[in-house]
Chain A
Amino acid sequence: MDAMTNNPGTLADPVEFYGTKVNSRLLLGTAQYPSPAILSEAIRASGAEIVTVSLRRESGAAKAGQSFWQLIRDLGVKVLPNTAGCKTVKEAVTTAEMARELFGTPWVKLEVIGEDDTLQPDVFGLVEAARILSRDGFEVFPYTTEDLVVAEKLIGAGCEVLMPWGAPIGSGRGLNNPYGLRSLRAHFPGVPLVVDAGVGVPSHAAAAMEMGYDAVLLNTAVAKAGDPVRMARAFARAIEAGREAVLADPMEVRDMAAPSTPVMGRAVLGQ
């Protein structure tokens, strides 16, 4: 909200990542869909303007990557390459460099994974890799935790966007630490914040937006739904609803009831 004018903004206001304005506040992953056709249709239904992609080994025989890339290009969306699966700073930095050449974008969703069961970010490696890549001209979208001190270090390393997890990747648990996410939002009022990972159903995404998050990045919740296209649409609506709600300035929570129907003028019908 703009305190000087008391103007909360409008639903149509774009979100800005490293100077690039986008209208959709839903960033969608491209993995695990039942088919390429459903992937395309889900992206269209979601209205997402940014999709995440990765780099994997290409076989000369199958050339799977070439047809996948054609599909993404045909959709006309911006790509956010990731360093998914990287466990060391060196792996992540080299993967980011290869992605920059391949996709022709300085954007990178930086993942340095520290633990296999939770796919929790190795925040120490993350900060180091973010510093190396930012110095080299990358525009880093770090996949991080909701830890405030780590977030400060990432900003110090050159990150202008933060992407805290809601819950472990692919878990669908939603926002595990609402207090931590709220604190992060309050602590960095001017930094674009994206909840990335762990979102399971549209209400989780709406809740993130109601906290004032700028956008939500998700994949499995749409790709693994029984009807991914319909779920993509549901998420788009939930994110819009959450955004509209935060612009509308929600009421304060109270511990005790407060009658909504006026007490004055109530008939006395007892004895």
Chain B
Amino acid sequence: MKIIVNGEPADTRAGTLADLLAELGLTGAMVATALNGAMVRAVKREATAISDGDRVEILAPMQGG
């Protein structure tokens, strides 16, 4: 399945957002997630299915002013 992760095309076999984070080695990491422009809370990731063409954003703390 082809999706967009953080603006880049990606191939995934993940069925849910939680699976996708596991595929990326980000299980347990301090990240916030959004699917197609809407935030998905951490507790909802396992129940959130991803589909072909979805846009996923995975954000982490970063330097800022």
Contact = CB atoms under 8 A, between A and B. Distances in A.
Contact of B32 (A52, A55, A60, A90): A55
A77 interface: no
A102 B32 contact: yes
Given A58-B29, A58-B31, A60-B25, A97 B39 contact: yes
A68 B62 contact: yes
Contact of A54 (B26, B38, B58, B64): B64
B60 A58 contact: yes
Interface string A14-41: 0000000000000001111100000100
Given A65-B30, A66-B29, A94 B37 contact: yes
Contacts of B19: none
B41 A55 contact: no
Given A29-B65, A66-B29, A102-B31, A55 B39 contact: no
B6 interface: yes
Contact of B59 (A29, A57, A72, A90): A57
Interface string B16-46: 0000000011100111111001110110000
A60 B24 contact: yes
Contacts of B25: 60-61, 63
A64 interface: yes
B63 to A, nearest CB: 4
A68 B60 CA distance: 9
B39 A65 contact: no
Interface residues of B, number: 25
Contacts of A55: 32, 59-62, 64
B61 A69 contact: yes
Contacts of A98: 32-34, 39, 59
Contacts of A97: 39
A225 interface: no
Contact of A63 (B29, B33, B39, B59): B29
Interface in A88-111: 90, 94, 97-99, 101-103
4 nearest A-B residue pairs (beta carbon)? A65-B60, A54-B64, A29-B65, A60-B24
23 contacts: A29-B64, A31-B63, A31-B65, A32-B65, A33-B63, A54-B64, A55-B32, A55-B59, A57-B7, A57-B57, A57-B59, A58-B60, A60-B25, A64-B60, A65-B60, A66-B60, A68-B62, A69-B30, A82-B64, A94-B38, A94-B39, A99-B32, A219-B65
